[in-house]
Chains A and B, each alone.
Chain A
Amino acid sequence: MTVRQAELLMGIATLLLSLGLMWNVWSDGLRIGWVEGRGPGAGMWPFWLSLGMALAALATIVRWFQGKTPESRSLDPYIASETMFLVVVSAISIFLLLVLMTVIGTYLSLMLFMLFYVRFLGKHDWRMTAGFVIGAPIFVYLLFEVALTKYLPKGWPIFEEGFLWLDNFRWEYF
């Protein structure tokens, strides 16, 4: 996809998003004008701002047809193929990290994430990989669970029980 095509698609997507927001406010029955005795309705602010968004998106589309923006004249690839791999893989790896956090818990998914990123994507040696795979969960545990007292997601009950068994050592011995 070229930058030119991407700008048109983005213009259309932002226009649809704006119209969707306006429709949402309207269909929820929120008042978009003055409510006698109460002042501006709850829908006034988001509705009229969404209309502004729609007009701004429309202006971008019109300018695209007129060829006024540099992007509308650019035939370069939107994401160059040589960098596409790194960017897409990074985005997908975060997506999988979030999915795995709710299944196997934060710590195991962090270890897998580090293993993938450091060893397979970064092609670092096993010593470095081991340092990150072991160091990251320890750092996260000390910062978030111990210092900030946040209970991070532990995944399915079997994984949560495993974590609690390990965590118990902290309460017993420290």
Chain B
Amino acid sequence: METIFVSLGGGLMQAFEPLNLFMILAGCLAGLFVGCMPGLGSVNGVAILLPVTFLVPPTAAIIFLAALYYGAMYGGAISSITLGIPGASTAVATVFDGRPMAQAGKADKALMAAAIASFIGGTVSIILFTLFAPPLAAFALKFGPQEEFALMLLAFATFIGLGGDDIPKTIFSILLGLVMAAIGFDIISGQPRMIFFDMVELQRGIGFLVLAIGIYGIGEMLWTLESTKGQVQMHNVKITWARFKENLKEVKVYINSTWLGSFLGFFVGTLPAAGATPAALMSYGLSKTFSKDPDSFGKGNISGVAAPEAANNAASTGSMLPMITLGIPGSPTTAILLGGMIIWGLRPGPLLFTESPDFVWGLIGSMYVANVATVLLNLALIPVFIRVLAMPFTLLTPIIFILCVLGVFATTDRMFDTWIMLILGVAGYLMRKLNYPVAPAVLAIVLGPLAERSLRQSLISSQGDVTTFITRPISLTCVILALLLVSYPLIQRLVRRRTAVQAD
């Protein structure tokens, strides 16, 4: 425990270095901006701005992106409440009660509850992160390639079991991401693979950023243009110092829901397929169940705003736990962060704590600072962000498109990749319209090379014996959990059918 405090102290000192502090503030502001813009969320912001972070050292870069991730969770509530359109999917549950509150002229109350709940959720989750990360990383040091592969299998299985999407489409999405990651030279034999029409450009493969920006930049903007038709209807917010003080006294009304959301959000966030959106929805549902007045939920209950907001913030920190300690991202945003770490020359996983302690503890320290910075910036800048929200889509969209095109070009120095990005963006948009989940493909393209390497290393070391995955306890546990998760929807269906038969 003492070591944790010493390392955390070092991390906090690092977070207060001028460049890092600047990156925290810039990240929080960028996050609040992308979070509050309908159609843009943390994942879009991180994907689009990752190439820009090559300007600064890796620690400052991850601090910026983590702060952006954080800020986006706060920002999502602003458009959910004032526009009735979630700024990001993570803020969907905030609309349920945030919108009715705004319609009743209580938008300021809802916005403040969202900010305070987000702060509490963020603080609880960062403390849990600090306590859990070092022992989990130490435990993960025992992992060999078998355990690594089994863990990735588990990550993919959570998408099938808990993702809630169409199962064949989810499987297709995962496998497509894995296959795309295999394009180019084979990592072991060096043989070229899947070089279509002898296009030499494909020998370098398709980078994860090309897919991520294509899907979360181009595809998402096309989706938003379609779903909003470029029009928004906003509610006015009256913010005065007197109302601010009055709203502060209301914290006790929603504090229980906030605690619930904070703890639930953190643990749900650590699961790869779950993340902030289901955490927020689950938190909302449970808060309603435990409420003394469940009927008021959906009609403007302030706890219905606080619970999901605490949960989505806590989940964003939770999703970083497996990324930092195991090298398995807990959300699409952390998948992109993980890919960024590889580009920066770092090796994500348990060794990160011993190989790059400054990086890890700098990140953890920055999370504490970012949480405080974001809540202050959020409360202070609400009027500014409400003005930003009035910005027409025809001004925002071309800026995003240009950042996508040039961001991809700046990362790879090839026009070829910008073409691939456009194709993947349009294909992703068309597939998403048919309920094909896109997040598993992004996770898979990041984990693809690692998964293939660990599978082949395991098979080579066991001379082709596949039972190597079930003869080692940790790997066996992961395989069993993965099988249970994959069969979970089937079991659920059988139970439902039996209950229906018994009811008849």
Evaluate whether A86 and B406 lie within 8 angstroms (CB atoms) in the complex, with A14-B172, A45-B182, A91-B426 already known: no
Contact of B188 among A34, A39, A79 (CB under 8 A): A39
B225 located at the interface, meaning its Cβ lies under 8 Å from any Cβ of chain A in the complex: yes
Say whether A124 contacts B394, CB under 8 Å. Answer: yes
Say whether A118 contacts B406, CB under 8 Å. Answer: no
Evaluate whether A98 and B415 lie within 8 angstroms (CB atoms) in the complex, with A49-B182, A86-B225 already known: yes
B86 to chain A, nearest CB (A): 19
Chain A residues in 8 Å Cβ range of B195: 28
19 A–B contacts from the bound complex (CB under 8 Å): A3-B434, A6-B430, A10-B434, A34-B464, A38-B189, A39-B456, A40-B464, A42-B193, A45-B456, A50-B175, A53-B175, A60-B166, A63-B168, A79-B226, A90-B397, A91-B426, A98-B418, A148-B51, A148-B52
A108 located at the interface, meaning its Cβ lies under 8 Å from any Cβ of chain B in the complex: no
Give the residue among B196, B419, B455, B464 with the most A Cβ atoms within 10 A: B464
Contact of B435 among A71, A91, A152 (CB under 8 A): A71
Chain B residues in 8 Å Cβ range of A10: 430-431, 434, 436
Give the residue among A38, A56, A153 with the most B Cβ atoms within 10 A: A56
Chain A residues in 8 Å Cβ range of B166: 60, 69
List the 6 closest A-B pairs by CB distance, nearest first: A122-B394, A59-B168, A39-B460, A56-B172, A42-B186, A117-B398
Say whether A148 contacts B426, CB under 8 Å. Answer: no
A19 located at the interface, meaning its Cβ lies under 8 Å from any Cβ of chain B in the complex: no
Number of A-B contacts (CB under 8 A): 167
| Chain A contact surface mostly | helix
B410 located at the interface, meaning its Cβ lies under 8 Å from any Cβ of chain A in the complex: yes
Tell me the chain A residues, 138-168 only, with Cβ under 8 Å from chain B.
Answer: 140, 143-144, 147-148, 150, 152-153
B503 to chain A, nearest CB (A): 22
Say whether B435 contacts A53, CB under 8 Å. Answer: no
Say whether B395 contacts A118, CB under 8 Å. Answer: yes
Say whether A98 contacts B229, CB under 8 Å. Answer: no
Say whether B434 contacts A30, CB under 8 Å. Answer: no
Q: How far is the CA of A46 from the CA of B175 in the complex (A)?
A: 9
Say whether B394 contacts A94, CB under 8 Å. Answer: no
B499 located at the interface, meaning its Cβ lies under 8 Å from any Cβ of chain A in the complex: no
Say whether B410 contacts A25, CB under 8 Å. Answer: no
List chain A positions with a Cβ less than 8 A from chain B. 3, 6-7, 10, 14, 21, 24-25, 28, 30, 34, 38-46, 49-50, 52-53, 56-57, 59-60, 63, 69-71, 78-80, 82-83, 86-87, 90-91, 93-95, 97-98, 101-102, 106, 110, 113-114, 117-118, 121-124, 128, 132, 136, 140, 143-144, 147-148, 150, 152-153
Q: How far is the CA of A80 from the CA of B397 in the complex (A)?
A: 20
Query: Residue-by-residue, is B174-186 near A (CB-CB < 8 Å gives 1, otherwise 0)?
Result: 0110110010001
Say whether A148 contacts B395, CB under 8 Å. Answer: no
- Known contacts A3-B434, A38-B189; 10 additional CB pairs below 8 A are A10-B436, A30-B193, A39-B456, A42-B193, A43-B193, A52-B175, A57-B172, A98-B405, A113-B402, A152-B409
